[in-house]
């Protein structure tokens, strides 16, 4: 293992009194012995057997044999980055948390994004919820806001979590499908758990197919509490708002991306940070009191419910930027351990029974994943403020405590010894609260948790027609993969409670009869729509998007430059795709380097495409299936297609019909760039059977 240090290490003096110097880059064993040969094992003769004595070989292989640790039982596949949080509006009247006290104050953070169901080696773009976990290193300890990109959850009580996860993971007897909910056991469970129906609508929506981790909202999901210096508490929900806007892919696109680039999301985040385009989110809070909570038709302690922003608007109090890629994936992203129990004075839990279960699970899982109770000493997990207590020893203890004060109370200081730390009156205090009078121990679900469908109906009603179409198509797709007819029927029966139109459209897409409805536990309400729940009703943002320019020999270099300039102006990037990765010779003889070869960069990887090709180039590409797919997929995925006159024959062969997002260049350079974050949805009807 190479040791890298700032200076040559000075070793103890030898017998003769001379100080030995060792070069910084000397390869050594784990115990510091310099290694002379890292290519050959120790053998009895050049062709003889390898000797057991070869401790250098044995140490290296021993370490290698144990390089893998158990992956996370959920959220195994993820990627992370360092950054900082800045308070943009102080809220001392609401919370005494140090990170909300001073406008402009900054604190380091580490963020890990993840998929939920797939293994560590699965793909980045399955239909799935995304984890959005933030560790704030504050001067009063670490606060972990371990959230998702969807504001509600499948279940109300932690006791159902292992069942939910068993049902969605690969089926127990066959070990598949990987990273997919489209199978019997998931839908079997879901159809028997009406409380999951709200989250199912989100999971079937475009929210589960994010275009980029940089373009996702994040939610703390549960109701938490903020507590001020006087001990007064309010309820709060936490939201992350991406400054690049919210954007998703289409299902067909996500499927193809996972083949073309299984690392699509992590590469996108890596590239953005390396290029200095640091992704940012605003931290918003919804603050409300008990009186508001009591007046709602749902229970704020029920994690299958959200609080519409129309009822409690977001108040933006901070911003987060991710500006540093980790030095080492394993040491940081893999070993980071998030704990919902990591809160700081000024923030507190609520009685949400899902949250309460999480307060046990995360500490417990770290012991099995990271192998020791001392996982908090791993640099990415360690607080950046002083930490003292009397917890001692354990596997992989790296701290060397001094003295003998490992218990408390003690009076060792009276004898002049260090007596160790003492509890502080500024320390964390749980909110004092009277629980329900006449409390008895019971395994029950509160009556106020019983409405499972009203918000699911509200979510669907709040979507645009296009988004509703995607939800129906996703339900039809997933249920078409379900092989047990009675499970399909039961899902349809549940869907009738969300809306007869929803159930009818899905039944029609399946070619199935509509079964009788399953009576809901409570009458389903028609709640007002909430525009904040739709992606397509949000303002599109152009920054952070990517234009793919397909070029051939003889292409117009000026036009390529115009496109590059226009994209740069709005903060978008450009990739050049050519028949050969060596690039092309432009009209006029100049060489243009390419980023990608055509079959390595299908149009699903870009937000819009431009075909800057000569007539001869078009003829050449018509014989290349990858080029035809590049164009026809861009069209089918409703993306803007800019084209030079020479591209006409290729467009025709790929089946592109004229519409306002098929844009002639060079006149339409700006129009093309303006289309980078919107789609020409009218095409959907032309390329897909209606559902």
Among all residues, which ones are annotated catalytic?
A: 75, 148
Neighbours of 330 (CB within 10 A): 11
Cα(251)–Cα(258) distance, integer angstroms:
11
| Nearest CA among 331, 218, 322 for reference residue 273 | 322
Element (H, E) at 575: strand 573-578
Which residue number is nearest to ligand HDE in terms of Cβ?
Answer: 131
| CB 294 to ligand HDE: min, Å | 23
Q: Is 378 or 551 the residue whose CB approaches ligand HDE more closely?
A: 378
Distance of CA 70 to the CA centre of its chain: 20
Q: Which helix (H) or strand (E) holds 143?
A: strand 141-148
Rounded to whole angstroms, the Cα distance separating 82 from 296 reads 38
DSSP character at residue 329: I
CB of 163 to ligand HDE, least distance (A): 11
User: Which CB, 158 or 378, lies closer to ligand HDE?
Assistant: 158
Q: Round to whole Å and give the CA distance between 651 and 643.
A: 9
Q: Which residues bind ligand HDE (CB under 6 A)?
A: 72-75, 78, 112, 114, 131, 133, 146-148, 153, 158, 161, 221, 303, 336-338, 354, 357-358, 361-362, 365
CA dist 496 and 82 (Å) reads 45
Task: Please say which residue, 136 or 338, places its beta carbon nearer to ligand HDE.
Answer: 338
SS3 307: coil
We find the least distance from the C-beta atom of residue 431 to ligand HDE, in angstroms, to be 20
Pick 361 or 671: Cβ nearer ligand HDE: 361
Q: Which is nearer to ligand HDE, 221 or 656 (CB)?
A: 221
Cα 56 to Cα 64: distance, rounded to the nearest angstrom: 12
Give ∠ CA 466-471-472 in degrees, rounded to 5. Answer: 95
Computed on alpha carbons and rounded to an integer, the radius of gyration of the chain in Å comes to 29
Query: Which contiguous run of DSSP H or E holds residue 510?
Result: helix 500-510
Select 273 or 354, whichever has its Cβ closest to ligand HDE.
Answer: 354
Q: How far is the CB of 226 from ligand HDE (least distance, A)?
A: 17
- CB 354 → ligand HDE: shortest distance, Å? 5
Q: Which residues are annotated as a binding site for heme?
A: 72, 112, 161, 358, 362, 369
**Concatenated DSSP letters of 23-87:** -TT-BB-TTSPBPS-SS---BSSTTSPBPTT-HHHHHHHHHHHT---PPPSSS-SEEEEEEEEEE
Strand partners of residue 575: 548
Report, in Å, the least distance between residue 296 CB and ligand HDE: 20
Q: Cα 75 from chain centroid?
A: 9
Residue closer to ligand HDE, measured from CB, 127 or 358:
358
Q: How far is the CB of 66 from ligand HDE (least distance, A)?
A: 20
DSSP 333-384: IIT----TT---TTEE----HHHHHHHHHHHHHHHHHHSSGGGGGSTTTS-S
């Amino acid at each position: 293992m190479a040791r890298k240090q700032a200076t040559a290490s000075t070793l103890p003096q030898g017998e003769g009194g001379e100080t030995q110097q060792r070069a910084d880059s000397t390869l050594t064993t784990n115990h510091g012995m310099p290694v002379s040969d890292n290519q050959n094992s120790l053998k009895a003769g050049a062709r003889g057997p390898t000797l057991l004595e070869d401790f250098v070989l044995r140490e290296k292989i021993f370490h290698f044999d144990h390089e893998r640790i158990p992956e996370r039982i959920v959220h195994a596949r993820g990627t992370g980055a360092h950054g900082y949080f800045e308070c943009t509006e102080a809220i001392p009247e609401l919370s005494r948390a140090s990170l909300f006290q001073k406008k402009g104050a900054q604190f380091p953070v580490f963020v890990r994004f993840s998929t939920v169901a797939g293994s560590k080696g699965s793909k980045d773009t399955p239909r799935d919820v995304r984890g959005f976990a933030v560790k704030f290193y504050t001067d009063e300890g670490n606060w972990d806001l371990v959230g998702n990109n969807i504001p509600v959850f499948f279940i109300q009580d932690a006791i159902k979590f292992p069942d939910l996860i068993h049902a969605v993971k690969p089926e127990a007897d066959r070990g598949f499908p990987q990273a997919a909910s489209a199978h019997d056991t998931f839908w079997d469970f879901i159809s028997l758990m009406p409380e999951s129906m709200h989250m199912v609508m989100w999971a079937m929506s475009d929210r589960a197919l994010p275009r980029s981790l940089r373009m996702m909202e994040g939610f703390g999901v549960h109701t938490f509490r903020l507590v001020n210096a006087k001990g007064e508490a309010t309820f709060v929900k936490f939201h992350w708002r991406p400054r690049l806007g919210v954007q998703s892919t289409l299902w067909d696109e996500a499927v193809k991306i996972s083949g073309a680039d299984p690392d699509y999301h992590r590469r996108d985040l890596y590239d953005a940070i390396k290029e200095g385009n640091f992704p940012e989110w605003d931290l918003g809070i919804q603050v409300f009191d008990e009186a508001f909570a009591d007046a709602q038709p749902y229970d704020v302690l029920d994690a299958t419910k959200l609080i519409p922003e129309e009822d409690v608007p977001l108040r933006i109090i901070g911003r987060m930027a991710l500006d540093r890629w980790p030095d080492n994936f394993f040491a940081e992203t893999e070993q980071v351990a998030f704990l919902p129990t990591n809160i700081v004075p000024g923030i507190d839990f609520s009685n949400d029974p899902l949250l309460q279960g999480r307060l046990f699970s995360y500490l417990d899982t770290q012991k099995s994943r990271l192998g020791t109770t001392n996982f908090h000493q791993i640099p990415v997990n360690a607080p950046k403020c002083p930490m003292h207590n009397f917890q001692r020893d354990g596997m992989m203890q790296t701290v060397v405590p001094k003295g003998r004060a490992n218990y408390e109370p003690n009076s060792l200081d009276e004898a002049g010894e260090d007596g160790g730390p003492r509890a502080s009156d500024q320390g964390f205090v749980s909110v004092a609260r009277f629980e329900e009078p006449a409390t008895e121990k019971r395994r029950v679900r509160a009556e106020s948790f019983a409405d499972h469908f009203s918000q699911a109906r509200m979510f669907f009603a709040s979507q645009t027609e296009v988004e509703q179409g995607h939800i129906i198509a996703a339900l039809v797709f997933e249920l078409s993969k379900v092989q047990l007819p009675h499970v399909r029927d039961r899902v349809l029966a549940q869907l009738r409670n969300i809306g007869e139109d929803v159930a009818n459209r899905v039944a029609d897409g399946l070619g199935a009869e509509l079964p009788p409805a399953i009576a809901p536990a409570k009458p389903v309400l028609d709640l007002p729509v909430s525009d904040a729940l739709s992606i397509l009703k949000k303002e599109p943002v152009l920054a952070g998007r990517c234009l793919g320019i397909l070029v051939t020999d003889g292409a117009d270099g000026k036009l390529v430059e115009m496109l590059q300039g226009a994209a740069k102006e709005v903060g978008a990037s450009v990739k050049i795709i050519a028949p050969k990765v060596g690039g092309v010779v432009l009209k006029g003889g100049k060489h243009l380097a390419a980023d990608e070869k055509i079959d390595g960069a299908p149009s699903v990887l870009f937000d819009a495409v431009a075909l800057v090709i000569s007539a001869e180039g078009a003829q050449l590409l018509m014989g290349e299936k990858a080029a035809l797919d590049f164009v026809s997929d861009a069209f089918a995925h409703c993306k803007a297609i800019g084209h030079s006159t020479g591209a006409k024959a290729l467009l025709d062969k790929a089946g592109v019909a004229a519409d306002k997002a098929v844009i002639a260049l060079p006149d339409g350079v700006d129009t093309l760039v303006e289309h980078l974050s919107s789609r020409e949805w009218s095409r959907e009807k032309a390329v897909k059977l209606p559902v």
